[in-house]
Chains A and B, each alone.
Chain A
Amino acid sequence: MQSTTLILLLGLLAVGAFYFGRDRSLSLVGGPGKGRALHSLPGYYGYFVAIWVVLPALALLFVWILLEPKVVAALVVDGLPESYRSISAGELNLLVNNIRNLASGDVVSVAVDNDLRRAAALFNDYSGMSRVLLTVLVISLATLGGVLAWRNIRPELRARNRVEAVIRWGLIAASSIAVLTTIGIVMSVLFEALRFFQMVPWSEFLFGTTWSPQTAIRADQVGSSGSFGAVPLFAGTLLITAIAMSVSVPIGLMTAIYLAEYATSRVRGIAKPLLEILAGIPTVVYGFFAALTVAPWVRRVGESAGFEVASESALAAGLVMGIMIIPLVSSLADDAINAVPTSIRDGALGLGSTRSETMTKVIFPAALPGIVGGILLAVSRAIGETMIVVMAAGLAANLTANPFDAVTTVTVQIVTLLVGDQEFDSAKTLAAFALGLMLFVVTLCLNIIGIYVVRKYREQYD
């Protein structure tokens, strides 16, 4: 039986078990009218039995699915003639793959001989047996669990506490998946980056000013050395981020101030959802907007003013990224301004301040820590932004502060290093991990500082 069918069947069994368990708990105390004699509500006894039906059986199912391929492969290899025993692990792996492909009728990479055919037949046999065995075992385990739990039901059984404990552990498991995945990703980036630093000294990476990651794939190629000075990338990231922030901070702040202090509730009701739509536009759309509309426009305007403008300029990417970040800045600033208690606002108005005096002299200073925290979060968003710069900022690793030049950023380089055919353990590929690590560290620091500032400020009034 297929695993999905098996899981469905388990579900059906669980539903049945729920009703059996509930009815038994009620019949033990003498009918639905006497439910108060039970420790928990009758439904909890139902869930209790259902959990015992499902959980052990599911656990078995998953362990089986995890281990089955290995066990079957080992059995198949055991059945091979003597001549195959001595081959290396890598070849054995290949062989098992071939057997598996042959068994399922896929393409095979070696000549098919009789040994192989016999092995494939054996493989099919074992797989079929395993499936039957699995079905039988799972269903009997489910039944066994259900029956035991069912017999265990007594009025004084603390079914609710048991069920809630299971729920709690389920929730903990779910949330630890996210945490563990994050840790796993950080670890793998860290270790790959360390491998990179064995090939390229970290001082060159951090302080070198030439970025040209073309290493030779064949030894006889020219220009094979490759040079991994990341300073131009960080400078480019910084330049574009600075442009983006100089667009988004003033506009976002003014938007927030207008919405929080001046707008009537009707205007606010219309403008806020519109801003959220702006925040919801996919960055790739901003990207082609930047590449196809803004970049040519910047070039035309710049050239008519007598500047030399690259067709992919930092300015175009930065401008569009700034627009993208406006909603983030304005909503965080709006939160900070709204967190200033109305009593303080009233106090200022009551002393005869105008609206703008209240805003600039009282509310804004009071909200400043929260606003700064929000801006830091926006900066980290800008540094990590990829799509817009990939499409609009170009690939030239120029070390420049001229916004009309083409620059490249850390994220763009990570993308280009990993796109296309690569040797996985070349310095070129591993450089992506080193860049990723740097990016991660920088944005993490910004986020921590930002969140810390925002939170500290919140506590002030609560």
Chain B
Amino acid sequence: MTAMTKTATDKRKTAAVPDYHEQVVELGRETVGQVRCAEPFMVAEKVNVHYGDNHAIRDVTLEIGKKEVVALIGPSGCGKSTFLRCLNRMNDSIESARVSGNITLDGTDIYSKEQDPVALRARVGMVFQKPNPFPKSIYDNVAYGPRIHGLAGDRAELDTIVHSSLERAGLLKEVKDRLDEPGTSLSGGQQQRLCIARTIAVNPEVILMDEPCSALDPIATARIEDLMDELCEDYAIVIVTHSMQQAARVSRRVAYFHLGYLVEVDDTDKVFTNPQHKLTEDYITGRIG
């Protein structure tokens, strides 16, 4: 009964492309391609997310390797952000959200009772769509994480962390002389790099990025893409993006989501040159938007 009502709501959402909907229900249940990877670090098994009655993520299984960039793509509302937020339990703060299934980080279940979500988020950092620096100075923005986690013994150590984080985020040269100015006084692209610096200052193991460049111009975007290339030498990165070019440039593997299903996941070259699933093909050739 509930399954039927859900199908009915889904149908209304995609009334313009009913045949795709049918295909997803029929064909999208089984993910095609390679969900497994050689050196899995973060593993999601049969993850389901409900927002109240809305079944936003359906049976998604995906492995993310150590030092690997995985891009999540798909049409708006397909659940990319929702899936991403499962990986550091940011969905906990949404009252209506229910997450089921199994997600492990380096072998430990992150949804187990013993797991403290606060400690988890120090290991799995997140960069948001809109730059969101705190209304504090540039220095305090970056120092915030190390301070609350007690990463620095004294002021000198904290200075080192702040400087090296800004350096790695490619921002140090621009803000060296104005560390006391508010973070909100920077430009949008600088703010986003500040947010990245803030995230890596905690020294996480995985970095989640939800459309980190969607509010930025092409030059700022290029800088952040370069930055990702460097960061992936140390961190696993999961990035949500609406730009196929960006996914092609920065990621090693691509996962295509559709209406809550993970339809296809494989090496980036393979997905973009030779997609296995018709839905993926239609999306990357621009027929679903």
Contact = CB atoms under 8 A, between A and B. Distances in A.
A350 B135 CA distance: 16
Given A349-B121, A352-B119, A344 B134 contact: yes
A349 B144 CA distance: 12
A265 B94 CA distance: 11
Interface in B83-112: 88, 90, 93, 95
A343 B130 contact: yes
B19 to A, nearest CB: 37
B140 to A, nearest CB: 9
Nearest to B144: A351
Contacts of A366: 134-135
Given A264-B95, A347-B195, A352 B145 contact: yes
A349 B134 contact: no
A347 B141 CA distance: 11
A42 B149 CA distance: 71
Name the prevailing secondary structure of the A interface residues: helix
Which residue among B95, B125, B133, B148 has the maximum number of chain A CB atoms within 10 Å of its CB? B148
A348 B134 contact: yes
Interface of B: 88, 90, 93, 95, 118-122, 125-126, 128, 130, 132-136, 144-145, 148-149, 184, 195, 198-199, 202
Interface of A: 264-265, 341, 343-344, 346-354, 357, 361-362, 365-366, 460
A1 to B, nearest CB: 65
A353 B148 contact: yes
B90 A349 contact: yes
Given A264-B95, A361-B148, A460-B135, A350 B126 contact: yes
Contacts of A264: 95
Contacts of B135: 344, 365-366, 460
Residue from the set A265, A351, A362 with the largest chain B CB neighbour count within 10 Å: A351
Contacts of B144: 348, 351, 353, 361-362
B139 to A, nearest CB: 14
Given A343-B130, A346-B90, A352 B136 contact: no
B125 A351 contact: yes
Nearest to A347: B132
A173 B118 CA distance: 59
Given A347-B195, A365-B135, A353 B128 contact: no
Contacts of B199: 350-351
A351 B95 contact: no
Contacts of A354: 118
A352 B148 contact: yes
B148 A347 contact: no
Contacts of B88: 350
Given A265-B95, A357-B148, A350 B125 contact: yes
Q: Which 5 A-B pairs have the closest CB atoms?
A: A352-B122, A350-B126, A352-B121, A343-B132, A347-B132
B121 A351 contact: yes
Given A265-B95, A351-B202, A352-B202, A341 B118 contact: no
18 contacts: A343-B128, A346-B93, A346-B128, A346-B132, A347-B132, A348-B134, A350-B88, A350-B125, A350-B126, A351-B125, A351-B199, A352-B119, A352-B149, A353-B118, A353-B144, A353-B148, A361-B144, A460-B184
